[in-house]
Amino acid sequence: MTTQNILTHNRVILTHFDSYSVALLFPRWDKTLLWPQALPESASPMVAPSEIGAEHSAEAVKLAVVEHCGFNADELVSVDEFDHWAQTPTGAVRIHLLRFTTPDAPKAAIAALGGTFKAISELRGSAMSELLLLREVFNLIVGGGKGS
């Protein structure tokens, strides 16, 4: 299974949460909040399949992101409580949440990938479907979920 194959079947929301200042930041690339690209416009939410293949494994996705982006694997955790799927013309796509554990958001690393960290309030104009996902991330991490 190649990195490209994994990234074809998955999308990632990256986030950084500073518990001291209660700042939750998300990278934005052009108009998408998903890495490595937005879902197709025809995508629709779906229930998780009964059997999840290796190409949708949270650990495989994390490793693919680390390999492709050059992040430090020890500074990135998968938030397993976030479990979203979309049906696309090419099949099921899983949306993962990866949280940076660094004291500060790795702004330079995201900038090197063409992105910019922003607070949720600065993300107006993004796709409504993506903003709804970020709202769930906000509730999970800031609202007392297990993602922090």
Tokens 């999840």 belong to which residue?
52
Question: What pLDDT score was predicted for residue 145?
Answer: 58
Instruction: Kindly list the domain boundaries of the chain, sorted by start residue.
Output: 3-141
Identify the band that residue 42 occupies on the pLDDT scale cut at 50, 70 and 90.
Answer: very high
Identify the band that residue 21 occupies on the pLDDT scale cut at 50, 70 and 90.
Answer: confident
Architecture category of domain 3-141 in CATH: Alpha-Beta Complex (3.90)
pLDDT tens column, 48-89 = 998 888 888 999 999 999 999 999 999 999 999 999 999 999
**Rounded Cα–Cα distance for residues 77 and 73 (Å):** 8
Q: Torsions phi, psi of 121, nearest 5?
A: -70, -15
pLDDT tens column, 76-127 = 999 999 999 999 998 999 999 999 999 999 999 999 999 999 999 999 999 9
Question: What pLDDT score was predicted for residue 53?
Answer: 84
Question: What pLDDT score was predicted for residue 39?
Answer: 94
Q: What is the pTM of this model?
A: 0.92
**Rounded Cα–Cα distance for residues 74 and 121 (Å):** 29
Q: Is 82 within 8 Å of 117 (Cβ atoms)?
A: no
**Rounded Cα–Cα distance for residues 3 and 96 (Å):** 15
Question: What pLDDT score was predicted for residue 20?
Answer: 83
On the question of pLDDT at 2 being above 80, the answer is no
DSSP sequence for 14-70: EEEEETTTTEEEEEEBTTB-SBS-PPPTT-EEEPPPSS--GGG-HHHHHHHHHHHH-
pLDDT tens column, 133-142 = 999 999 999 8
- Dihedral angle at the C-alpha atoms of 102, 103, 105, 108, nearest 10 degrees? -80
Q: Give the C-alpha distances (Å, rounded to integers) separating 40 from 9, 11, 82, 125, 127.
A: 12, 11, 21, 17, 11
Q: Residue 136 is which amino acid?
A: E
